[in-house]
Amino acid sequence: ARDNGGGAGGRSGALGPAPVAEVIQKIDVNPPKGTRDFSPDEMRLRNWLFHNFREVSRLFGFEEVDFPVLESEALFVRKAGEEIKDQLYCFEDRGNRRVALRPELTPSLARLVIQKGKSLSLPVKWFAIGQCWRYERMTRGRRREHYQWNMDIIGVPDVMAEAELISSIVTFFKRIGITASDVGFKVSSRKVLQEVLSRYSIREDLFGKVCIIIDKIEKIPLNDIKEELKAAGVSTEAVEQLLQVLSIKSLTELEEILGDAGEAVVELKQLFSLAEKFGYSEWIQFDASIVRGLAYYTGIVFEGFDRDGKLRAICGGGRYDRLLSTFGGDDIPACGFGFGDAVIVELLKEKGRLPALSLQVDNIVCALDHDLQGPAATVATILREKGQTVDLVLENKPLKWVFKRAARINAERLILVGSAEWQRGMVGVKILSSGEQHEIKLDELE
Ligand SMILES: CC(=O)Nc1cnc2ccccc2c1
């Protein structure tokens, strides 16, 4: 056991051996169900991913924000029957408050925008990387947490905002070696559904629920979709027309059905023409079946998919012009996306394009005998102050052990502090790749 310095731990000597702390019980060393630890290798991959998220956000002039992982449950209580709501990781805290571990970041971002109110000059371009939670029966053995990168533009009603967001994700994919032949974006607009539903005078408040039902179109049998739509109050004729519209795969075909004057067609055309100017036309395609599973989207929606069709959606987002007002804020237009940390890693594995990340240090510094620990610490500090990474050998170890560790941590060179050399103000240097060895004056170390 580590001596906690309180003397009670590793004490021995005059007072005799320390009392053995009673073994309470062998704790489960695994993390809670559905959650992960990040050991060094996994942490290096995660840091690499997040570094690329942050670099792209910086390139696009977005500012980083963060929020508590714990939020009021009220932030996520939506009546549209979303899966994310059914799996809310919520509970009553000791103050009898209904709270939840956030399942997504957008509501927190909306909350902060409203909180900042007039002090914010629009447009707001914020990004966040945060852990999100869900509670589902472990029968499905799925994870209960993941990290999401979000980018949001608040205060821009024009489709230029969605085009900018898609450009940022394309930039991210390119940075990590994913091309337009690996992935694409399916793009649609909820206004397509809205225009169809309004032809059948479906009540506005049904809109969110209808979208959530349709979002399950690939996941449950078509007849169940029809049943759920009818149960939600959509007429049989409207259901047939809806499903027919959802199968449209081209904007020209959509125009034939909806005409060229409606917002849905106009906005989608704008987006596709902006895509050309941004240079990512080959990355996007119109697909009317895309609705996304969050009730608050109101316009353009998009999702990143792998062209081999083996994986779930890589990322997704869209316009949510009503969310801020439903939280009692002003009527401010908004759009954003979420990009999870799981599917992208599966994709990189599939493509054999995971980055090779390993521990590497510039120096391993070792005292050749015990009373040279002090000088070794001095050498390590000099090198560190020069910005060099140093693994300082902290105990008296045989050289064989030191070489083994040097190899494991990929040390570039071994710095040996020996008493004869030290008397002459020198230290030994061994370049581990070549085996070349020389002595150097302490103040010439660099
Ligand atoms: C593939 C994966 O891990 N998905 C995942 C994992 N945890 C979540 C937690 C909250 C919301 C969505 C989540 C989604």
Token pair in block for residue 429 = 């240097």
Residue 6: pLDDT above 70?
Answer: no
Mutate to test the pocket of ligand 1, among 42, 134, 303 (most ligand atoms within 8 A of CB): 134
Q: In angstroms, how far is CA 331 from the centroid of its own chain? A: 28
Counting ligand 1 atoms within 8 A of each CB, the residue from 88, 135, 142 with the most, and so the one to mutate, is 142
The answer to whether the CB of 133 is under 6 A from ligand 1 is: yes
pLDDT tops 80 at residue 227: yes
Residue with tokens 């909806």: 258
- Range scoring the smallest mean pLDDT among 80-89, 283-292, 348-357: 80-89
At a CB cut-off of 8 Å and minimum separation 6, what does 372 contact? 417, 418, 419, 422
Residue 10 has pLDDT above 90, yes or no: no
Span 250-259, average pLDDT: 94
Give the residue with greater pLDDT, 203 vs 394. 394
Output the CA 77–ligand 1 centroid distance in Å: 18
Give residue 285 CA to ligand 1 midpoint distance, Å: 26
pTM of the model: 0.91
pLDDT of residue 445: 87
Nearest partner of 146 among 159, 132, 160, 158, judged by Cα: 132
- Please work out whether the CB of residue 342 comes within 6 Å of at least one atom of ligand 1: yes
Tell me the C-alpha distance between 183 and 309, whole Å: 9
Q: Residue 388 Cα, ligand 1 centroid: separation in angstroms?
A: 39
pLDDT digits (tens, 9 = 90+) for 349-374: 999 999 999 999 999 999 999 899 99
- ipTM field: 0.93
Residues forming a β-bridge with 98? 92
What pLDDT is recorded for position 344? 98
State in Å: Cα 145 to ligand 1 middle. 5
Q: CA 79, CA 71: separation in Å to the nearest integer?
A: 18
Per-position b or e across 224-246, b if 16+ CB within 10 A of its CB? ebbebbeebebeeebbebbbebb
Spatial distance between the Cα atoms of 162 and 157, rounded to a whole number of angstroms? 10
Strand ranges in 311-375 using DSSP code E only, listed in sequence order:
315-319, 334-340, 361-367
**Ligand 1 site, residue 102, Cβ cutoff 6 A:** no
| Tens of pLDDT, residues 97-122 | 999 999 999 999 999 999 999 999 99
Residue having the nearest C-alpha atom to atom 5 of ligand 1: 146
In 3-state terms, the chain is what percent helix, strand and coil (to 5)? 40, 20, 40
Q: Closest by alpha carbon to 294, among 316, 276, 312, 275?
A: 316
The overall average pLDDT reported for the chain is 93
pLDDT in tens, 288-323: 999 898 989 999 999 999 999 999 999 999 999 999
Contact 207, 296 (CB under 8 A): no
What's the gap in Å between 147 CA and the centre of ligand 1?
8
Two structure tokens written together for 164: 């900018």
| pLDDT tens-place string over residues 398-412 | 999 999 999 999 999
Centre of ligand 1 to C-alpha 257, Å, is 37
Which residue's alpha carbon is at the smallest distance from atom 14 of ligand 1? 146
